[in-house]
Amino acid sequence: MIPTAIGGISVTVVFGLMAWVVTSAEQWPRIKLQFFNIDAMIAAFPRVLQGFWVNMQVWLTVLACVLVWALVLAVVRSLRAPWFAPFRLMVVIYIDIFRGVPALLLVLLFGFGIPALNLPGLPNSGLFWGAVAMVLSYAAYVAEIYRSGIDAVHEGQRAAAKSLGLSEWQTLRYAILPQALRNVVPALMNIVVALQKDVALLSVIGVRDAVREAQIYTATTFNYSSLIVAAGLFLLATIPMARLADYLTRRDRERRLQIAG
């Protein structure tokens, strides 16, 4: 009771002081006008929100593609049959390349580069190819997460499955992957949150997402409040996800402790 009260008071005092220092600074009125202008915020809000809706759609689509494609990569990498060696090697090279190159560079390369080729039969939109770049890049990380989950499944589970006559694929499908996926949920949640923000990279190739819309507003009015609106929308989306990630991580740790103890 008393510790809680002390905590509450100290938070109020410290944050109050900080607010007082900031707002009493000489430059505060200018900052407020440039970044926290209510009128500008209200004016920019509908378009930024519309852009944010694009972010959310791209996020979910890319996420679904990443989860599936990364699983394919991880499975190929963990199959042990000797004749699979060239495919394993391909996956290793793939992961090295797409983890090593900045996502922004990939987005530029795919989003501007491929539409410029005018390839017949393929979509020509920057949005499509930018999203492809995001999928390729993120899948490299997620494949490694899956793989760590697969490696963490005890070797005895493989031996048991094999001794029962399950093929290598059946062993993965029925014995290993279900346990591996459960192991990596917390790690995946962090990727989900990171991707939610990184979709904004697509704004550099002209996709009219929240950041792009806010920038357009900024460019015409020389006022940055629209960017703050976009930031607020991102926070609104990412903070609950981050809390969910924390919760799942905690629950996972408790489950492990229970098994261990």
Partner 1 sequence: MIDIDTVTKYFGEKLVLDRVSLRIAPHEVVCLIGASGSGKSTLLRCVNRLVAHDYGTIRLDGVAVDDPRFGKTGLQKRVAIVFQSYNLFAHMNVLDNITLAPRRVHGQSRAEAEDRGRDVLARFGMAGFAASYPEQLSGGQQQRVAIARALMTRPDVLLLDEITAALDPELVGEVLAIIRGLKDDGMTMMIVTHEMGFARDCADRVAFLDGGVILEQDTPDRLFGTPQEPRTKAFLQRIIASGRL
Binding site for partner 1 (CB under 8 A): 154, 156-157, 159-167, 170, 174-175, 178-179, 182, 258-259
The token pair at 228 is 């703050």
Nearest to 63 by CA among 184, 187, 199: 199
Of 128 and 168, CB closest to partner 1: 168
Of 154 and 243, CB closest to partner 1: 154
Of 182 and 250, CB closest to partner 1: 182
The residue whose two tokens read 């791209």 is: 58
The token pair at 4 is 């809680």
CB of 154 to partner 1, least distance (A): 8
Of 96 and 151, CB closest to partner 1: 151
Report angle CA 116, 121, 123 to the nearest 5 degrees: 55
CB of 132 to partner 1, least distance (A): 34
Of 4 and 163, CB closest to partner 1: 163
CB of 143 to partner 1, least distance (A): 21
The token pair at 113 is 């580069």
CB of 67 to partner 1, least distance (A): 19
Q: What's the N-to-C CA distance of the chain in angstroms?
A: 32
CB of 174 to partner 1, least distance (A): 6
Distance (Å, rounded) from C-alpha 155 to C-alpha 252? 21
Nearest to 171 by CA among 185, 157, 152, 184: 157
